[in-house]
């Protein structure tokens, strides 16, 4: 019976099949080979060349990578205008807000080009992808250790990039591993640094639903922001200048005004950040039982502190808006993912796949020789992870999540330079063995060169001080010592109570024994003593930086202690496990692809451009419940609750609803559609990605996933997984009818009928 059961598992897991069209984050350069027939069957009307082409204009040229891939966007005019999510632009909106100009509350609309605000991030356009796997893998051998392998890969990447820079240094080059290090591709980008904020709705529209609705459907959020890219007069990248002109993209997306229907084709281009679809049952167990519960607990405590203080002051509300959003988003994500992994029995499904893999391996001596130890290697790796995971999680989430400790890291280099200056100026260097063993002549040379050495160190000190002074201004603009002191005390308490002494610095354990008032006493002393708690104190210190002051500063002491512990101890707890896992991952994925030669596999997301395609679809989340594929403005007003900050609404929007003044943005059913869902496969980094129909026209902007499929980064669930997007017509309605920024609509190409 056991053999029959194993055989049935094998049939289910390894039977050749084509991947479902809705699952997969596909590399655009391979769409014609792997996906094009599927895409046509779903409703695509474009040619492969119209989607991805190196030399000619194609859809890829309209897709924007924000920064290094923290979000995505899409070009919507020939004048450099691009669209992304409100939450992607949130930090820019917050940074430009004040009590007098509260763009978070009131929104921001540049009615002229001169009113557009610098965004302080760059954007990149993919020029091309190149397969460099043969070049890199050709210099790797199976008998290399994992560390030697990683070192060689790094060397080869640098070598290839150096060669490319010699040919054209105006472009940016990245080489990344795919399929767990089995393949390597070079990504070539053109990066523009002059980006400006053009328009953003108030948070009561752009963040409507807040934490309550985050990751939920039905959704009614107008989650969009607009920016403009600027270039020099020749359309090349340039630093910010008033002389720059709007960038003219190789392609921008026309905008469909027809709306979406159940079953319509939907395709998303963007830069998904990371997935772990090849994670094993060992990883699922560690995540659900240890790592994620710890992250949820720590983040919830921070949020409680933030929210209590934000409610007391508009200034603090604005200061901590972006910080709160960053902590909150993944607090809820980890809750949902843990529940989803358990509810959908992802552990059991992963275990079945692993059993089937080993059944396949043992059926052939050569496969056994290559892959026979894979699961044992995983077992050894995760035994190590079990010992070190919580130490690392608590250090990153709790300790490094405290602002004053994190800010203190920036002072440790200065402290090192001040120590060197004292060492040389005091003459202590003469007592070192390294000096004593020198000949008299060499000692004299060393002493003679001392003034130049000191002068060089003083130059480094002065440069660092100037940089720290500039950083201090930005840091204190959005900093509340009242909040940070509470967070520090709470995090120190969690860190001490939840971890064994062996997972904490010995100095910290001794510190806790010293303070009679415990965490409160230490927190009070830090904030009474440290120069980092106010801009005035920090500038006073930087006016005359001294080693004595730094050695007495409790904030600097904590930063140095915890960073030192992280560097000296944490790698020893998890480094061996990481190396074992990397080897097992590479062999496991290689074996899976050989085991299923007729199946099209896609690599995990890694902040490189991907395409996902499928259809606009409703879904059934549970028994007797079915969700429609769209929401309307009526649902926005139904949720309106002036007593709940998540569901406040501007009077202007309610007025437009009451008058049913939707203009040309109404659906054919007479309502104003706000959001829709599709079965596209996305993750973090895809936020702001354009949702494109079969004609290559923009129909919406992706901004979220759904609660029932929060396990999706690890295991895609076709019946449940949905992407939530803002209907482009709602976006245009807000720009035009709500904000009166019709000049922006005039830049866009609106399409009213399907192509024949």
Question: Is 550 found in the same domain as 453?
Answer: yes
Please check whether residue 12 lies inside any domain of the structure: no
Number of domains in the chain: 3
Bridge partners, 145 (sequence order): none
**650 found inside a domain:** yes
Q: Identify the three-state secondary structure at position 176.
A: strand
Say if 125 falls within a structural domain. Answer: no
Statement to judge: residues 551 and 459 lie in one domain: yes
Q: Are residues 577 and 468 in the same domain?
A: no
Residues 561 and 617 in one domain: no
Do 325 and 457 sit in the same domain of this protein? no
In a domain, residue 127? The reply is: no
Least confident range from 72-86, 404-418, 435-449: namely 435-449
Residues making up the chain, counted from first to last = 756
Task: Please compute the mean of the pLDDT values over residues 217-235 and round it to a whole number.
Answer: 98
Q: How far apart are CA 513 and CA 510, in angstroms?
A: 5
Share of the chain above pLDDT 70, in %: 97
- Same domain for 225 and 312, yes or no, is no
pLDDT at 755: 59
309: in domain: yes
Query: Of 237-246, 440-449, 640-649, 675-684, which gets the smallest average pLDDT?
Result: 440-449
180: CB partners within 8 A, 6+ apart: 278, 582, 585, 586, 588, 589, 590, 604
CA distance 289 to 745: 50
Mean residue pLDDT of the chain comes to: 94
Whether 146 is covered by a domain: the verdict is no
Query: Has residue 1 got a pLDDT over 80?
Result: no
Token pair 């053009």 is found at 198
User: Domain check: are 611 and 686 in the same one?
Assistant: yes
Q: What is the pLDDT of residue 514?
A: 85
User: Which pTM value belongs to this model?
Assistant: 0.91
| Percent of all residues in the chain with a pLDDT value above 90, rounded to a whole number | 89
Distance (Å, whole) CA 461 – CA 467: 10
Residues 220 and 334 placed together within one structural domain of the fold = no
Same domain as 82, residue 217: yes
Torsion angle of the four alpha carbons 52, 58, 61, 63, in this order, in degrees rounded to the nearest 10: -70
Residues marked active site are found at 87, 223, 687
Count helices and strands in the chain by DSSP H and E runs: 33, 22
DSSP for 468-495 reads HHHHHHHHHHT--HHHHHHHHHHHHHHH
**Residues 741, 649 within the same domain:** yes
Looking at the fold, whether 306 and 204 belong to one and the same domain comes out as no
Question: Does residue 312 lie in a domain region?
Answer: yes
Where in the sequence is the domain holding 114, given as residue range(s)? 23-120+195-273+604-756
**Segment among 182-191, 247-256, 439-448 with least mean pLDDT:** 439-448
User: Are 421 and 328 contained in the same domain?
Assistant: no
Is 141 within a domain?
no
The domain that contains 224 carries what CATH number? 2.40.10.120
């Amino acid at each position: 019976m056991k053999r029959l059961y194993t055989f049935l598992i094998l049939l289910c897991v390894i039977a050749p099949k084509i991947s479902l069209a809705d699952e997969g984050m596909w590399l655009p350069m391979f769409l014609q080979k792997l996906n094009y027939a599927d895409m046509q069957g779903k409703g695509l009307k474009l040619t492969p060349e119209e989607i991805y082409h190196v030399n000619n204009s194609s859809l890829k040229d309209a897709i924007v990578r924000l920064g290094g891939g923290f979000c995505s966007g899409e070009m919507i005019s020939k004048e450099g205008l691009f669209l992304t999510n409100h939450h992607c632009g949130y930090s820019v909106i917050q940074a430009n807000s004040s009590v007098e100009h509260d763009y978070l509350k009131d929104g921001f609309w540049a009615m002229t080009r001169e009113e557009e605000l610098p965004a302080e991030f760059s954007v990149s356009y993919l020029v091309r992808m190149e397969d460099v796997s043969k070049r890199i893998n050709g210099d790797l051998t199976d008998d290399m250790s994992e560390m030697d392998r990683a070192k060689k890969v790094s060397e080869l990447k640098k070598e290839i990039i150096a060669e490319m820079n010699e040919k054209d240094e105006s472009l940016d080059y990245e080489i990344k591993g795919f399929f767990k290090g089995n393949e390597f591709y070079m990504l070539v980008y053109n990066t523009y640094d002059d980006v400006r904020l053009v328009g953003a709705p108030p948070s009561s529209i752009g963040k409507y639903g807040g934490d309550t609705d985050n990751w939920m459907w039905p959704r009614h959020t107008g989650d969009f922001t607009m920016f403009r890219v600027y270039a020099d007069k020749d359309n090349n990248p340039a630093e910010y200048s008033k002389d720059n002109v709007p960038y003219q993209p190789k392609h921008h997306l026309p905008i469909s005004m027809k709306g979406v229907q159940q079953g319509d084709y939907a395709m998303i281009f963007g830069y998904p950040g990371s997935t772990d679809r090849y994670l094993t049952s060992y990883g699922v167990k560690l995540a659900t039982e240890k790592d994620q519960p710890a992250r949820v607990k720590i983040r919830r405590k921070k949020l409680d502190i933030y929210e209590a203080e934000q409610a007391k002051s508009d200034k603090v509300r604005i200061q901590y808006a972006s910080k709160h959003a960053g902590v909150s988003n993944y607090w809820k994500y980890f809750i949902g993912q843990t529940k989803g992994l358990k509810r959908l029995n992802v552990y059991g499904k992963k275990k079945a796949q692993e059993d089937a893999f080993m059944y396949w391996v043992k059926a052939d001596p050569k496969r056994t020789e290559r892959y026979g130890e894979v699961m044992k290697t995983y077992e050894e790796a995760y035994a190590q992870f079990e010992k070190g995971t919580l130490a690392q999680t608590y250090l990153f989430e709790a300790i490094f999540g405290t602002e004053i400790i994190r800010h203190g890291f920036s002072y440790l280099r200065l402290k090192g330079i001040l120590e060197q200056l004292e060492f040389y100026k005091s003459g202590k260097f003469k007592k070192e063995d390294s000096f004593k063993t020198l000949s008299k002549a060499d000692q004299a040379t060393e002493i003679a060169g001392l003034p130049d050495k000191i002068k060089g160190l003083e130059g480094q000190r002065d440069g660092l001080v100037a940089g720290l002074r500039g950083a201090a201004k930005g840091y204190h603009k959005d900093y509340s010592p009242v909040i940070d002191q509470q967070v520090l005390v709470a995090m120190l308490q969690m860190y001490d109570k939840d971890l064994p002494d062996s997972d904490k610095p010995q100095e910290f354990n001794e510190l806790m024994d010293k303070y009679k008032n415990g965490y409160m006493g230490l927190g009070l002393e830090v904030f009474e003593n440290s120069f980092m708690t106010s801009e005035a104190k920090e500038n006073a210190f930087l006016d005359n930086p001294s080693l004595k002051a730094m050695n007495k500063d409790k904030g600097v002491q904590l930063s140095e202690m915890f960073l030192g512990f992280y560097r000296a101890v944490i790698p020893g707890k998890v480094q061996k496990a990481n190396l074992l896992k990397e080897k097992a991952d590479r062999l496991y994925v290689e074996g899976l692809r050989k085991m299923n030669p007729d199946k099209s596999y896609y690599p995990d997301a890694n902040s490189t451009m991907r395409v996902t395609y499928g259809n606009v679809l409703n879904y059934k989340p549970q028994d007797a419940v079915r969700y429609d594929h769209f929401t309307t403005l009526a649902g926005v007003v139904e949720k309106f609750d002036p007593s709940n900050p998540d569901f406040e609404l501007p009077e202007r929007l309610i007025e437009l609803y009451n008058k049913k003044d939707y203009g040309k943005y109404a659906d054919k059913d007479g309502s104003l559609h706000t959001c829709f869902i599709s079965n596209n496969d996305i993750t973090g980094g895809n936020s702001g990605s354009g949702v494109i129909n079969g004609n290559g026209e923009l129909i919406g902007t992706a901004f979220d996933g759904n609660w029932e499929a929060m396990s999706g980064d690890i295991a895609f669930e076709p019946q449940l997984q949905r992407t939530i997007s803002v209907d482009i017509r709602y976006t245009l309605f807000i720009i035009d009818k709500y904000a009166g920024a019709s000049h922006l609509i005039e830049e866009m190409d609106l399409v009213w009928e399907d192509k024949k």
